[in-house]
Amino acid sequence: MPRPPLPPTLAVVLWVIVGGGCAAPRSSPQAAAPVQLETSVPASRPSDADLKRRSTAHAHYTQGVIFELEHREARSLSEFRAAALVLPEDEDLVWEVSRKFLANQDPAGAAEVLERAAECPGASGLTLARLAAVELQRGNTEAAFKAAQDAIQRDPCVLQGYQTIFLVHLQRGQSEAARHVLETAEPYGHSDPEFLIQLSELYALLSAHSPAFRESVEPVQLRLLERAATLPIAEDTLRMRLADGFAGLHQDERAAVLYQELLETSPDAPGMRDIVRAKLTEAYLRGKDPSRAREHLEHLLKSDPTNVRLCYLLGTLAYQDRDLQAARDYFQRILVLRPEFQEAYYDLAEILLNLNLTDEAEEVVSKARQKFPQSFALELLSALVHVQRGEHAAALGYFMTAEITAQAVDPERLTHFFYFQYGAASERAGEVAAAERHLKKSLELDPGFAPAQNYLGYLWAERGEHLEEALELTRKAVRSEPTNAAYLDSLAWVLFKLNRPQEALAEIQKAIEHLEKPDATVYEHLGDIRARRGEWGLAVEAWKKAIGIERSDAVLRKLEQAGHPVPPPNPGESSHER
């Protein structure tokens, strides 16, 4: 039976292990420093044969470096191999040569020199662990398993040995056995932060490979990371891995603190600070701290001012913060940098509508319509431009096209809010039956959506229809937002229509209490309620307040009927029917 291939995630981890893992990272040929062949002072004078072997190994290694600098890879690897085979007991040399073979996609060459080194008396557990990892990469599972066991037996503190056995178990689908390997390794890394962090990463791999383990594994990961965080860590890359570990467990505050420390203490290496800032931004976004996220994104944009993705993130965050001017600037920059960025047109148009810059919004929508095919967003924004202009009848055609487009390609775009907007525009265009239908659809999609409850309840109250249902809807809206003056006014008006003026008065007084600014309709309703109660003086007072806010022919007629006519408006002052 052929051996199944390693899953991609396992292959990546395996490459990290055999390509360096906890050991020094692979270097480029130009950056590679010559290996020091004589790593220690011998206990006794070396024999002439030993000296000759060292001299031969040194010559081969030097020649290999020369060929490497000349980009003659095959010749350089041949010389490096000769150096390692002549002096296999020099583990620094063997490790360096094995890394070169791996960097050149030659695991067989790496295995050859590691095998020779592993046969030497006193070979370290790390050499055996590296041999195990290379054998696993080559597909020699049994040889890898055996070498990893030998590595652990020789040195139980070598995590790479446990890693290989862990990966073999995962490859075979033996998740419980893989977990047991990690549990066996844990006691040996109590004072080694890199051991603890890497062990936590292996637990994360187990969790990704076998999601059923996630709930029980994540507390172990967190415990390992918290232990590592109490130990001194000098290397920036390891500190970043620690922060990444916390971020992966949704410990965003812990991760943010570590990323911030890296920004403050790490050397200003090219790209390093930008990488840390990007990770810090992600932590703040997940932690729902958009202001801090914006701060770091702005730093990133200074070093990369044409980065469209950064502009889009900043524009989105500014919009969420209701910093509409900043959001507008970012999206306008995107259209300059990348005119084909379709979504940016729609976001910018929405922002301009929120700024009441209707003409600018229409211009952006018009440009988008010339550049891109028909879409739900384009039709909806066209509708909203007309709504903002008060051209509700014109808006209805765009709403209808948006609905048809979404039904064909993306029905999920037809949300409760879409139908609420469609219903409101229909009512204002005088299409009452359509308004009722769309508002009911909005509530069908979200029965607790207070704006639709209020709007439909008030619509029915105005028409004197379905008053008991209207009462239930407006009461639900008020329960959702007890200080919303518009909702309180609607509830009062429904009660008035049900001929319950005492209850209506209590609700309209609450509405007035919570008004952010005087509202003519609310005071007109107060006057009507007072009149129904026979309180004509108070009714006239309320109607006059309504006229003082906004002149209305309907209110003027009520005042005339009450015997309190109001003088005609001054020249230039408008009058309209509500």
32-46, 215-229, 306-320: segment of lowest average pLDDT: 32-46
The string of pLDDT tens digits covering residues 528-553 is: 999 999 999 999 999 999 999 999 99
Distance CA 381, CA 365 (A): 7
**Residue indicated by tokens 């070598």:** 158
Distance CA 484, CA 137 (A): 66
Whether the predicted pLDDT of 37 surpasses 50 = no
pLDDT band at 282, cuts 50/70/90? confident
Give the three-class secondary structure for 221: helix
Q: What size, in residues, is the chain?
A: 578
**For residues 467-488, average pLDDT:** 97
To the nearest 10 degrees (0 to 180), the angle between helices 342-354 and 324-337 is: 150
**Cβ atoms 262, 284 nearer than 8 A:** no
Whether the predicted pLDDT of 355 surpasses 60 = yes
**For residues 462-473, average pLDDT:** 96
What residue ranges define each of the domains in the chain, with the CATH number in brackets? Answer: 1-31+88-210 (1.25.40.10), 466-516 (1.25.40.10), 517-578 (no CATH)
pLDDT, residue 301, reads: 85
**For residues 84-98, average pLDDT:** 93
**Cβ atoms 543, 527 nearer than 8 A:** yes
The string of pLDDT tens digits covering residues 94-114 is: 999 999 999 999 999 999 999
**Cβ atoms 319, 347 nearer than 8 A:** yes
Classify burial at 132, counting beta carbons within 10 Å of its beta carbon; exposed 0-12, middle 13-18, buried 19 or more. buried
Backbone CA torsion sign across 488, 491, 497, 501:
negative
Tell me the whole-structure pTM to 2 decimals.
0.59
Distance CA 460, CA 452 (A): 12
Whether the predicted pLDDT of 120 surpasses 70 = yes
Q: How far is CA 308 from the centre of its chain?
A: 17
What lies within 8 Å, CB to CB, of 357 at 6+ separation is none
pLDDT, residue 38, reads: 44
Whether the predicted pLDDT of 5 surpasses 60 = no
Whether the predicted pLDDT of 276 surpasses 80 = no
Alpha helices (runs of H) in 270-373, residue ranges in sequence order:
272-286, 290-303, 308-320, 324-337, 342-354, 358-371
The string of pLDDT tens digits covering residues 48-64 is: 888 898 999 999 999 99
Whether the predicted pLDDT of 18 surpasses 60 = no
**For residues 456-464, average pLDDT:** 96
pLDDT, residue 287, reads: 64
To the nearest 10 degrees (0 to 180), the angle between helices 252-265 and 272-286 is: 160
